[in-house]
Amino acid sequence: MHSLLGRLACVPARAFGPLRKDESGSVAIVFGVMAIVLLLAVGAAIDFTRWLNAREQTIAAVDAAVLAGGRALQLNSKDHSGAIAAAENYYRENVSTRLDIIPGSDSIKFAIAPDGMGVTASGNAYIKTPMLAFTAALGFAAIDRLPLVGNAETNFARSEIAVGGNGGESIEVSIMLDITGSMCNSAPGTNQSPCRSGRKIDAMKEAAKDLVNIVVWEDQSKFTSKVAIVPFSDSVRLPSNAIDKAWGSPAPTLSISKTTGSGRTQNTYYYNRTAACVVERAGSNRYTDAAPSKNNYVLPIRWAVDDNKKTQVADCTLGAESALMPLTNDKQQLLDKISGLTGKGGTAGQVGTAWAWYTLSPNWNSLWPSSSAAAYGRDDLRKIAVLMTDGEYNAQYTAEGIATGAAGAGSTPANADSATQAKALCEGMKAKGITVYTVGFAIGYNASAKDVLNKCATDPTKYYNAENEDQLRDAFRDIALKLSSLYISK
């Protein structure tokens, strides 16, 4: 810089030498003013270039920092101090090569946004302006510093955690929700009255609604976010217009007779044609998402009916309010579905797992053509299954859809025990590129439940063990944040 000033000082002497010899004096005055203006212009250009360079580096560092903090929030939404530390570290690293600023003038700091959905930056930093500061000696107002960002102590950058559109991708999420009797704070079984409210089921509903509120965004014009709700207990209830296609053809035989003892006692098992609850799938496609077809269907759940009453109406554990909801981006419908769920019955987790997969599978679109799942393998789409339960999977069925151990049914399941089936289905899902998150709710020391959830999750970071209601809500919120994308908002 000193050599540049030296050359500039020589220019007027050569170029304006003849003018300086003018004895009238007016030209000398004009020359003096021009020289001052020229020096000020050169000095301003130098200081402006330094300021612009430092400003661009500072803004880039802040943007990188708020994104780093936002990413830390996605990984652990509860660790606010960790997110702020990540932002601060990125900022310091990225301004380490910045031009010297005024010592102590960098007041830039980071904080968690009020809604918890990002990291904000505020404050300022100032750079020296040695050339413009010289103007004081010439009788002009001195400019000894310039701010690198906006007004001090005002927010000027923020990372936003948002799902989908801003991240350039669509998502499909299937949420499997445990609505068994234990969620009603009662003993497992099928004879208790269904509950709509209670400590555990209320906590589950609030947690699931949190996830829906975060992952279903408003503008669906370019990128979409769709969610399916899969409630389960001892079975899964389908929408009425999906039953026949799920069974395939030919339709299952309505009644099956079983005898016990020496044959003196006969039990007749029926399924309900109009309110079909379905269980597992037998045959070679028991652990695949191959489309339902002839002799390749899911089983209806069957219950014993007293023949003396001359009725062929069997029970369906889950009411219509708890029927599966296929993929949709109608947030209000999803929230209403969750709010209306009632709990009852045992725990056939493998059935819920299967239908969480089927709602994401394009092979099952014939069941709900207006709520179709997208094809596998798209670069601009993620498929996610969230599997939630509060206990051990313990209900499995024979090849006829009768619970093992029921009178005359025997103890041999069509496939395997419930837990083994669930783990096999999870492996099938993951092989298709579906990311699986699992959430255990108050499962205590139940080794079998923990084993299923651990092995079903895509990796250990995607398994949550929520011991109470607050942790359950935190788990669902954390999953929602992990599904989200980051962008800069200013």
3-state secondary structure of 439: strand
User: According to DSSP H, which parts of 110-198 are helical?
Assistant: 130-133
Of 47 and 83, more confident: 83
Q: Which residues contact 131 (CB under 8 A, 6 or more apart)?
A: 42, 43, 44, 46, 47
Same domain, 31 and 102: yes
Same domain, 136 and 236: no
Residue 233 lies in a domain: yes
| pLDDT given at position 456 | 97
| pLDDT given at position 91 | 92
Domain stop point among 142, 161, 180: 161
Q: Taking CA 211 as the corner, what is the angle to CA 210 and CA 217, rounded to the nearest 5 degrees? A: 100
Residue 268 lies in a domain: no
pLDDT tier at 295, thresholds 50, 70, 90: confident
CA atoms within 13 A on the CB side of 39: 19
Q: Taking CA 210 as the corner, what is the angle to CA 388 and CA 66, rounded to the nearest 5 degrees? A: 110
Backbone angles phi, psi at 86, to 5 degrees: -65, -45
Q: What average pLDDT does range 382-399 have in this prediction?
A: 95
| pLDDT given at position 118 | 81
pLDDT tier at 273, thresholds 50, 70, 90: confident
Same domain, 144 and 249: no
Q: List 478's β-bridge partners, or say none.
A: none
| pLDDT given at position 191 | 46
- pLDDT > 50? residue 73: yes
Q: What average pLDDT does range 446-466 have in this prediction?
A: 95
Q: What average pLDDT does range 162-177 have in this prediction?
A: 77
Segment 394-414, tens digit of pLDDT: 999 999 999 998 888 888 999
Residue 13 lies in a domain: yes
Strand 170-178 to 381-389 pairing: parallel
- CA 366 – CA 376 distance, rounded (Å): 16
| pLDDT given at position 482 | 81
- CA 35 – CA 78 distance, rounded (Å): 62
Residue 210 lies in a domain: yes
Share of the chain above pLDDT 70, in %: 79
- CA 207 – CA 477 distance, rounded (Å): 7
CA atoms within 13 A on the CB side of 279: 32
Confirm if 433 and 427 have CB atoms less than 8 A apart. no
Of 411 and 361, more confident: 361
- CA 344 – CA 55 distance, rounded (Å): 62
| pLDDT given at position 155 | 56
Q: List 46's β-bridge partners, or say none.
A: none
Confirm if 428 and 357 have CB atoms less than 8 A apart. yes
Q: What average pLDDT does range 460-488 have in this prediction?
A: 87
Same domain, 292 and 393: yes
- CA 474 – CA 80 distance, rounded (Å): 13
pLDDT tier at 323, thresholds 50, 70, 90: very high
- pLDDT > 70? residue 51: yes
The residue to which tokens 């999953």 are assigned:
479
pLDDT tier at 353, thresholds 50, 70, 90: very high
Residue 272 lies in a domain: no
Could you tell me where the beta strands, DSSP code E, fall in 317-367? 325-328
Same domain, 108 and 237: no
| pLDDT given at position 408 | 87
Residue 176 lies in a domain: yes
- Amino acid residing at 353: T
Q: What average pLDDT does range 305-325 have in this prediction?
A: 76
CA atoms within 13 A on the CB side of 114: 1
Residue 82 lies in a domain: yes
Considering the chain, what is the average pLDDT of its residues? Answer: 83
pLDDT tier at 4, thresholds 50, 70, 90: very low
pLDDT tier at 443, thresholds 50, 70, 90: very high
The whole domain housing 476 covers: 165-253+280-300+316-489
- pLDDT > 50? residue 27: yes
Same domain, 181 and 140: no
Confirm if 178 and 444 have CB atoms less than 8 A apart. no
3-state secondary structure of 122: strand
- pLDDT > 80? residue 270: yes
pLDDT tier at 471, thresholds 50, 70, 90: very high
Segment 338-349, tens digit of pLDDT: 999 999 889 999
Residue 236 lies in a domain: yes
Number of structural domains (the chain) is 2
Q: Which residues contact 33 (CB under 8 A, 6 or more apart)?
A: none
- CA 326 – CA 388 distance, rounded (Å): 17
Domain stop point among 137, 161, 185: 161
| pLDDT given at position 192 | 59
Segment 174-215, tens digit of pLDDT: 999 999 999 987 544 444 578 888 899 999 999 999 899 888
- Amino acid residing at 207: A
Same domain, 450 and 437: yes
Same domain, 97 and 220: no
Segment 114-151, tens digit of pLDDT: 877 788 888 888 988 776 666 545 555 567 778 888 65
Same domain, 139 and 8: yes
Same domain, 119 and 10: yes
Domain stop point among 141, 161, 181: 161
What CATH code is carried by the domain that includes residue 457? 3.40.50.410
Same domain, 155 and 239: no
- CA 121 – CA 90 distance, rounded (Å): 13
| pLDDT given at position 1 | 41
| pLDDT given at position 325 | 97
Q: What average pLDDT does range 461-488 have in this prediction?
A: 87
| pLDDT given at position 67 | 83
- Amino acid residing at 404: T
- CA 326 – CA 331 distance, rounded (Å): 13
| pLDDT given at position 146 | 83
- Annotate 21-75 with DSSP letters as a single string: T-TTSHHHHHHHHHHHHHHHHHHHHHHHHHHHHHHHHHHHHHHHHHHHHHHHHHH
Same domain, 376 and 478: yes
pLDDT tier at 448, thresholds 50, 70, 90: very high
